[in-house]
Every structure is written in C-alpha cells, then in structure tokens.
Amino acid sequence: MTTPNSMPISTIGRDQSRAITTSELIDRLAAEMRATGDRELPHSFYVEQVKRKLANDAAANDDKAVSSRVPAAATSSVFHCWAHPE
C-alpha cells in the first residue's frame, strides 16, 4: 500500500503565536494542582511540585539516564524479612 503524496502537512504544534512560556505553563499546572489539592497550601508549594514532576519526567525520558543496578532499600528489606524469618 502506498501513501499519497498530496496530503497536506499539519501545522499543529508549529504555530508559535499560541505557544506559551515555560513559567506560564508551570503556573497553570500549579493552579490546576492546587484546585484539586489542598487550597491552604501556598501557590509556591505547587510550583515547586510541578517543577519536580517535570524534572523527573524529563529524566525518565532521557536516553542518557543511568539506571541503578542496586535494588532500593525497601526492596532489600522486604527480601530480608522474607528470607530470614525470626
């Protein structure tokens, strides 16, 4: 099956007039998180939470991220409880 060459190229995602700045995006995400969470916490708390989440997502999507071969402390403690009964 061949694809037709006369298909128009989508401009979605290429329109810079609709693009928002990173700080505005972070503020919007923080406002949404605050609306669904504890409203007594300050907006700055949610801004930091959004920054951490975005940083973790970026690190998870990074091909150069080094994955640790050492099991997490909780995993090893569960193993020891199972393997060494009292």
* Structural domain contains residue 79: no
- Whole-angstrom distance, CA of residue 60 vs CA of residue 29: 19
**pTM here?**
0.50
Give pLDDT, residue 55.
86
Domains: count for the chain? 1
Asked, for residue 76, whether it belongs to a domain, the answer is no
Instruction: Give the domain range for residue 51.
Output: 19-61
In a domain, residue 6? The reply is no
Q: What angle do CA 7, 9, 14 make, to 5 degrees?
A: 170
Has residue 69 been placed in a domain?
no
50 falls in which pLDDT band (50, 70, 90)?
very high
Query: What was the pLDDT predicted at 17?
Result: 66
Q: Answer whether residue 41 is part of any domain.
A: yes
Taking the C-alpha atoms of residue 11 and residue 19, their distance in angstroms, rounded to an integer, is 13
Residue 61 parent element (H or E): helix 43-61
